[in-house]
Structure 1
């Protein structure tokens, strides 16, 4: 008997209802803040790469870590409210992808 590939299933909490009006609602505000935190995180990486002074580097690193924590908190809040969903994946497919990239890395970066 041929085995069917597992379908990805959405992983989502029940969605908290928000008003559907032209004005921004709680979901819109949280989404906007989450996107801003993501942008800041990328910007801090660039700043870290170019920091020429150790104390400045350390300050940016601390702020960057706090920004990552805030981003994660916002994601969790949105996920808990059902405003952010993910797709589950077949564990076998995940393992195949890991092996594929492991082999690629070994070929590109031999020891």
Structure 2
């Protein structure tokens, strides 16, 4: 790998890290916004940040700079089933699920 490629990779990794940080902060802002219009605007900005992060991730993946191992299909099915059970359980529980369950989702 040439020095130029390494510099490019580090720069793009920094961009992705920044996008993740921004998305996380917008997520908090959305959850804590008391004004419905402001909340809607923040949600749109967050969506745009997530779209930008996806583009950076795709670019890194194409270059071989961000490698993701394929998930085991059985593990995916198990996680999906567990999430669906927890979502279904929240609908039946007065006041929603306990704090631990909400953190999982």
TM-score using structure 2 length: 0.71
- Equivalent position SS for 2:3: coil
Query: Are residue 19 (structure 1) and residue 37 (structure 2) matched?
Result: no
SS in 2 for 1:42: helix
RMSD of aligned alpha carbons: 2.4
- Gaps in structure 2 of 5+ consecutive residues: 93-105
Q: Kindly name which structure, 1 or 2, has the bigger radius of gyration based on alpha carbons.
A: 1
By how many angstroms is 1:49 displaced? 1.5
Contact 1:18–1:26 under 8 Å retained in 2: no
Larger helix proportion of the pair: 2
In 2 relative to 1, CA 25–95 (structure 1 residues): closer, same or farther, beyond 3 Å?
same
Cα offsets for 1:88-110 (capped at 9, x unmatched):
1332333234334444x178536
**Scaled by the length of structure 1, what TM-score is found?**
0.67
Q: Which residue of 2 aligns with 1:74?
A: 56
Q: Which runs of 5+ in 1 are unaligned?
A: 1-16
Deviation track 1:20-50 (CA, whole Å, cap 9, x = no partner) reads 8xxx701001000100100100100111112
Residue 77 of structure 1 deviates from its aligned partner by: 0.4
Q: Which residue of 2 aligns with 1:96?
A: 78
2:28 corresponds to 1:46: yes
Partner of residue 109, structure 1: 90
1:29 maps to which residue?
11
Distance change (3 Å), C-alpha of 1:53 and 1:107: closer
Determine the C-alpha separation between the residues in 2 that align with 1:39 and 1:70. 12
Distance 1:60 1:27 in 2: 30
1:86 maps to what in 2?
68
